[in-house]
Amino acid sequence: AMGGVPKCFLLSLALPETHTGKWLREFLGGLRRAAKQLGCALAGGDTTRRKDVLISVTVIGEVRTGRGVLRSGARPGDLIYVSGHLGEAELGLRLLRRRKGLAYRRDPLLRRHLYPVPRLALGRWLAENRLATAMMDISDGLSSDLPRLCAASGVGASVHAAKIPGVNPSTLPSSRGIHPLQLALHGGDDYELLFTISRRKAHQVPRSFHGLPLTAIGEITREHKLLLVEASGRKRTLRAGGWDPFRTSE
């Protein structure tokens, strides 16, 4: 359920002896900073030796009874919204790979990849005010996560390409092959919120929440199809092209 507040987390850590010095201190330091920022305390876990590094984090949170928002509540006619600008984390990853190091980690785009910000306040606000009918975060890319929300709700969707908020074209590398729409559709790790709102409540959704843009990009449909409406008006099937851990390389 979305709209909750993190309270504590469990950490299971397995690592080789070579990583018990500086690497471990830096890892725990970053984890401590994140936990302090979110007010989410370490409540327990386990540590063991292993030849490969294995990290498992389980977060426990709370949500008021009856206020949690699931993926399964979207209904035909609901408007589809996203927060922020999609594709920035993916662009940051591509820039990081080109620079082959962390010398530029103060770059805002690199920070979007290295230090993602969970939209906890927005999710809680949508849930507490009973605005969102369905909600999830975008971790694997809009083209992969929207089908999951639709499948859980037993609906389809129609999304307008021109309405999807993507990266600023001026921030794109000069080389060819990178398009803002492709980044927005298929780039992962943005952790922006994807949510649906009943049309009769759409007027209650502001254009921004504490400076974070909220954009209507389409609507939920009865037909179990996912369509992308291009600027020309042409409709085509929206195919999942985001992160899939089980996809085999061809």
Residue 50: predicted pLDDT: 95
CA 209 to chain centre: 17
Over residues 126-144, the pLDDT tens digits come to 999 999 999 999 999 999 9
Rounded to whole angstroms, how far apart are CA atoms 174 and 221? 38
**In terms of C-beta density within 10 A (0-12 exposed, 13-18 middle, 19 or more buried), how is residue 155 classed?**
buried
- Contact predicate 145/185, CB 8 Å: no
So what's the pLDDT on residue 248? 62
Q: pLDDT tens-digit profile of 9-48? A: 999 999 999 999 999 999 999 999 999 999 999 999 999 9
pLDDT bracket for residue 96 (50, 70, 90): confident
Tell me the mean pLDDT in the region 112-118: 90
Q: Are 227 and 125 in contact (CB under 8 A)?
A: no
Strand segments, DSSP code E, in the chain are: 5-15, 41-49, 54-62, 79-83, 132-138, 156-160, 192-197, 208-209, 212-221, 226-229, 235-237
By three-state DSSP, how is residue 37 classified?
helix
What percent of the chain has pLDDT above 70?
A: 95
List all residues 6 or more positions away from 41 whose beta carbon is below 8 Å from its beta carbon: 7, 8, 9, 35
pLDDT at 101 over 70: no
Residue with tokens 């291009």: 230
pLDDT at 109: 82
Residue 98 corresponds to which amino acid? R
Mean of pLDDT values over 77-90: 97
pLDDT at position 76 is 98
Summarize the chain as % helix, strand, coil (round to 5).
35, 30, 40
